[in-house]
Structure 1
Amino acid sequence: MDQANKPTYTLWQLILYFLRLGTFGFGGPVALVGYMHRDLVERRGWISESDYKEGLALAQIAPGPLAAQLGIYLGFVHFRLLGATVAGLAFVLPSFLMVVALGWAYVAFGGLTWMQSVFYGVGASVIGIMAISAHKLASKNLGRDKLLWGIFILLAAVTIITQSEIALLFIGAGVLVWVIRCKPRFGTSSMAVLLPTQLPNIALASATDTNTLIQIVLFFTKAGAFVFGSGLAIVPFLYSEVVTEHHWLSEKQFVDAVAVAMITPGPVVITTGFIGYLISGLPGAVLAAVGTFVPCYLATVIAAPYFKKYGKLPALIAFVDGITAAAIGAIAGSVVVIAQRSIVDMPTALLALATAALLWKFKKLPEPVIVIGAALVGIVVYPLLHH
């Protein structure tokens, strides 16, 4: 972040860019990150290649949804705290408004056959999308590292068996990789480097207050502090608490919420707004979204100035590699858990398989196109099976 570098654009231009990206940016975190590089680095020259790479590296190692964090960091580059705040808000706001509108329609018209038909098809295709995403994340992040694959398999198995997330296993995985790779001498300053990464765990205090809104904000803050890299990492966390523990939503409603995240542009994590709406209306939606995004916002703006200094430290890289492997394992496990609920008959099984096959064969195929196709199939098939 070179301060001598005067921006060649105004704050308003940046806000308008992120509003547009948040409104029309389909394709999940990796696609959104690619659009930012294409638009801001290559075409407009607003951001330097080195600033972009630094932002991407920080977004990958800090907790929080990848694309939202990169957007916050790019806002920080020239306009510091104000830029980070408005870029993050402009990016998240359009998709938040969309999921709230969908939440209202879902609550108001959820009993209607056409709405059930749409989610029947989309819910099944989401399983295929999640399976391919888990595969992509695993091959990209785990490589040939046996230790990381071991963590991946263990977390996938634990998620399938317990049907829930055990947050401490994520931290444990990070510490294990750090200890094995860096062989730290305890009592040295090496542990001090890891302390900043422990900050999000303050939010782990379990929601014990009977007030649902307080529970919502505490829970979603905890979830937001543990989304590494892909927004899909939040799905297993949400499932275990929202469905299994608190019984806020039924399994079908939860799958529909994940489907909503897939059909709206912007960050996948915005599904928390939809879930919050189903639990407690508009206040629930606002608190869930705020809880999810505040940890990633704070992690980015607090870490940005220090990142140049510490970002390349092997201890930090090892810790994050361990947590990432655990998160991907949990995603893979949650695909199995959620599939048991979503795949209810032969058409849904075929839809899930067809989705996975299409994404496997056509790497560039946009996910929303598949989701819309699945919705159309649902509209045709569901009434025939449930007349």
Structure 2
Amino acid sequence: MDVTSDKDTLPDQVSLREAWLFWFKLGWISFGGPAGQIAIMHAELVERRHWISERRFLHALNYCMVLPGPEAQQLATYIGWLMHRTWGGIVAGVLFILPSLIILIVLSWLYIAFGHTSLVAGLFYGIKPAVTAIVLQAAYRIGLRTLKNPGLWVIAVASFVAMAIFQTPFPTILVAAALIGYIVGYIIPAQFMAGTNHSKLDRSYGPAIIDDTTLLPEHTHFRWSRLLTVITVCALLWIVPMALLVSQFGWFGTLTQMGWFFTKAAFLTFGGAYAVLPYVYQGAVEYYGWLNPAQMIDGLALGETTPGPLIMVVAFVGFIGSYTNTLFGTDLPFLAGATAAVAVTWFTFLPSFLFILAGGPLVETTHGNLKFSAPLTAITAAVVGVIFNLALFFAYHVLWPQGLLSSFEGPAALITLIASVALFYFKRNVIYVIGACAVMGLIYSIVWR
């Protein structure tokens, strides 16, 4: 199905400066978690600017959804690399996260300094139910773009059941989905071929700079020498700061353990920001005790209200953990928190640049190759089920904060319902919904609590 485009001719090539200005702007306006950020990039790069075609965009997205880490930031890095080589990818990826890092350091300090007040507590009572509705909407929006036929729906439901009921590790779900996608794509290729569904998702927005038939630029060709260079540089960028942390604080120091834990999180967790959060929760709250469950959900709420990837909640975790542990002494708690926020951000996002810059050439060679694209599509469908499971995870902690044997939070349930209606039916902006829910929580805390 084609849609009318303002441009019937191929758009002009984009200069590196123009691209950098766009990525800088995107870093400040990319609200709404990964689903919202991907939607913004799709609207700007595919529909409006015609930098990349719909199918090339979704092919890159499928790869990023497979990777551990934040898919929206990785997608920005991938498109930046595709258009302007290595530095284009680095700048796109860095500018995507830099504004949110700065904002979260400030908000984390305000939270830890004034979060005990009744005003802030009331605001967060309303924000937490809104976060639950937002995560649920994320599952819906990604599913709307991904689940194009009954087979993909079956994969999504099966992944939800596997994780919610049988506690199946996500890497296992990932492998199973990829295997199913490969087999079904071989036996029934129509299930995974673009264009088999004549829905509104299968569109052409006119000629693009990187179109379906565009020849691969030279820098996207795979070369062993380039792969080894990327791996070596990224390894040094990890080894040097980790060695400095060990020399200053020892292996069991808080900053060192944060660097090691978030490195593992970056490599061992799949499905993007929403899928990684249960792992971060388990490690940061239950194992290391850097913060408590309520603070973790509050940190997610702050992450939802700031631009950039939702996984930037790791900056909040690092800040709170180092601030409360007075890592640099009682006189410098803010410096300790800010240092930890920067450190965990470095260790969390460095692997994402490795995955894109090293794996991009391999992925570009699979464009249009069904035996590679079918497993990617199946994995993306599985992620939808995982995100829906995460929505239930947060709903449980919001509605029964002390466990199922405790009292049910009726006001929180009502706010969740209102937020869901606003997001799903009235299509309200996520920031407005969070603001309205914060006000409702504040009113409830003042009048009835």
Cα distance in structure 1, aligned partners of 2:381 and 2:263 = 21
Question: Match for 2:433 among 351, 362, 370?
Answer: 370
- Does structure 1 residue 295 correspond to structure 2 residue 295? no
Cα distance in structure 2, aligned partners of 1:38 and 1:133 = 17
Instruction: Tell whether the 8 Å contact from 1:75 to 1:87 is kept in structure 2 after alignment.
Output: yes
Q: What is the CA distance between 1:252 and its match in structure 2?
A: 0.3
Residue by residue over 1:249-301, the C-alpha shift from the partner in whole angstroms, topping out at 9 and shown as x without a partner, is 21100110111111112222212211221112122211222222222221111
**Other-structure match for 2:290:** 248
Q: What is the CA distance between 1:103 and its match in structure 2?
A: 0.7
Question: Counterpart of 2:274 in 1: which secondary structure?
Answer: helix
**Other-structure match for 1:361:** 425
Q: What is the CA distance between 1:106 and its match in structure 2?
A: 0.9
Query: What is the one-letter code of the residue matched to 1:339?
Result: A
Question: Match for 1:152 among 155, 160, 169?
Answer: 160
- Does structure 1 residue 274 correspond to structure 2 residue 299? no
**Other-structure match for 1:101:** 106
Paired-residue identity, %: 29
Distance 1:138 1:21, change over 3 A: closer
Q: What is the CA distance between 1:355 and its match in structure 2?
A: 1.3
Cα distance in structure 2, aligned partners of 1:30 and 1:247 = 30
Q: How does 1:203-282 map to 2 (within 5 A)?
A: 209-225=251-267, 230-280=272-322, 281-282=337-338
Question: Counterpart of 1:169 in 2: which secondary structure?
Answer: helix
Q: What is the CA distance between 1:182 and its match in structure 2?
A: 6.9
Question: Match for 2:27 among 19, 22, 31?
Answer: 22
- Does structure 1 residue 346 correspond to structure 2 residue 410? yes
Question: Match for 2:78 among 73, 79, 82?
Answer: 73
Query: What is the one-letter code of the residue matched to 1:129?
Result: I
**Structure 1 runs not aligned, ≥5 long:** 160-164, 185-195
**Other-structure match for 1:111:** 116
Structure having the larger proportion of residues in helix = 1
**Other-structure match for 1:13:** 18
Scaled by the length of structure 2, what TM-score is found? 0.70
**Other-structure match for 2:210:** none
Query: What is the one-letter code of the residue matched to 2:421?
Result: A
Instruction: Tell whether the 8 Å contact from 2:24 to 2:96 is kept in structure 1 after alignment.
Output: yes
Q: What is the CA distance between 1:348 and its match in structure 2?
A: 0.9
Query: What is the one-letter code of the residue matched to 1:351?
Result: I
Cα distance in structure 1, aligned partners of 2:176 and 2:383 = 10
Q: What is the CA distance between 1:155 and its match in structure 2?
A: 1.1
Cα distance in structure 2, aligned partners of 1:384 and 1:181 = 57
**Structure 2 runs not aligned, ≥5 long:** 1-9, 188-226, 239-249, 323-336, 402-408
Query: What is the one-letter code of the residue matched to 1:307?
Result: V
Query: What is the one-letter code of the residue matched to 2:86?
Result: L
Q: Which has the larger radius of gyration?
A: 2
Q: What is the CA distance between 1:169 and its match in structure 2?
A: 2.7
Cα distance in structure 2, aligned partners of 1:94 and 1:11 = 20
Cα distance in structure 2, aligned partners of 1:92 and 1:116 = 27
Cα distance in structure 1, aligned partners of 2:177 and 2:260 = 23
Q: What is the CA distance between 1:323 and its match in structure 2?
A: 4.3
RMSD of equivalent CA atoms: 3.3
Scaled by the length of structure 1, what TM-score is found? 0.80
Q: How does 1:82-231 map to 2 (within 5 A)?
A: 82-138=87-143, 140-142=145-147, 143-145=149-151, 146-159=154-167, 166-174=169-177, 176-177=179-180, 180-181=183-184, 209-225=251-267, 230-231=272-273
Distance 1:137 1:70, change over 3 A: closer
Q: How does 1:313-352 map to 2 (within 5 A)?
A: 313-321=369-377, 323-343=379-399, 344=401, 345-352=409-416
Cα distance in structure 2, aligned partners of 1:321 and 1:55 = 11
Question: Counterpart of 1:64 in 2: which secondary structure?
Answer: coil
